């Protein structure tokens, strides 16, 4: 099979799906993804600099009740970049075309950080059945000034010694302590994968610039259920002081910006609750 690329042909949903292989020759956008589980489809969208494997800690509990599609956005993981500016709205359009090609129409969608923003864009466009956004980016009041990512610079610098660092709990705390409360609990291989994906994503800079130049102002225009999750130790994204009354929020206890490893049970629960309608 092509490295890490998965595909499915969906004739009807829900169904039992767990397959990896080469994508068929088609004009539909191809995005690397993994699929497993039984139940209504739930699409998982990773944060900026991440890939679909950030969801690994919650796949097992989710897949007993949902058909889970974890996807690499264009320019991240094993998916090719867009030819247009990778704004969150553009990423959402590409993801929508891809999901439509799989036979998925208005699936439940969930995302973390950038992924949460992309999920909200899908809902705003009428292309989601529900949204669960964990520490969503874009809810700041207006565009932000351009800023290089110091974390990505560091990630790139440590690549030569990444196996050594990730093999030790102290090294994992150094690498991931800015986005997790308990990085020492992350397995060494997974920790190295998180850092490597962050350092090597070809669309990181363009997507970061596009995000910072914009904000998401359409929460009050979304007409499907929206659940927002707020990690209580998030050092990256701040919770807005005001949200529309229709938006449901939940605090994730003992979690950093990437809460999947800190509290997979809480993350799985909010994803299931948010996609229960």
Residue 28: closest CA among 113, 122, 97, 76: 97
**CB–CB of 222/241 below 8 Å?**
no
Q: How far apart are CA 107 and CA 154, in angstroms?
A: 37
Pairing between β-strand 67-71 and β-strand 33-37 as defined by DSSP bridges: antiparallel
Q: How far apart are CA 193 and CA 53, in angstroms?
A: 8
Which burial class, exposed, middle or buried, applies to 240 when counting CB atoms under 10 A from its CB (0-12, 13-18, 19+)?
Answer: middle
Cβ neighbors of 192 (< 8 A, separation 6 or more) are 162, 163, 166
Which active-site residues does the annotation give?
113, 234, 257
């Amino acid at each position: 099979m092509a490295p890490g690329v998965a595909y499915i042909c969906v004739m009807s949903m829900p169904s039992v799906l767990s397959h990896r292989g080469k994508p068929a020759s088609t004009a539909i956008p191809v995005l690397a993804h993994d699929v497993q589980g039984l139940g209504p489809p739930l699409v998982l969208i990773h944060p900026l600099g991440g890939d679909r494997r950030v969801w690994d800690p919650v796949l097992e509990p989710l897949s007993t009740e949902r058909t889970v599609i974890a996807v690499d956005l264009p320019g991240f993981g094993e998916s090719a970049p867009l030819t247009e500016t990778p704004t969150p709205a553009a990423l959402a359009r590409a993801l929508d075309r891809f999901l439509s090609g799989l036979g998925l129409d208005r699936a439940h969608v969930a995302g973390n950080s950038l992924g949460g923003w992309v999920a909200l864009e899908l809902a705003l466009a009428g292309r989601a059945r529900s949204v669960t956004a964990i520490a969503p980016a874009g809810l700041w009041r207006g565009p932000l000034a351009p800023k290089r990512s110091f974390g990505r610079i560091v990630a790139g610098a440590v690549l030569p010694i990444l196996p050594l660092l990730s093999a030790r709990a102290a090294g994992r705390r150094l690498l991931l302590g800015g986005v997790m409360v308990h990085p020492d609990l992350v397995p060494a291989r997974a920790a190295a994968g998180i850092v490597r994906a962050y350092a090597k994503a070809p669309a990181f800079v363009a997507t970061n610039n596009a995000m910072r130049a914009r904000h998401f102002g359409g929460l009050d225009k979304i007409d499907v259920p929206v659940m927002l999750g707020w990690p209580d130790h998030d050092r990256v994204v701040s919770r807005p002081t005001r949200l529309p009354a229709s938006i449901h929020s939940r605090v994730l206890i003992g979690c950093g910006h990437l809460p999947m490893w800190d509290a997979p049970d809480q993350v799985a629960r909010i994803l299931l609750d948010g996609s229960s309608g």
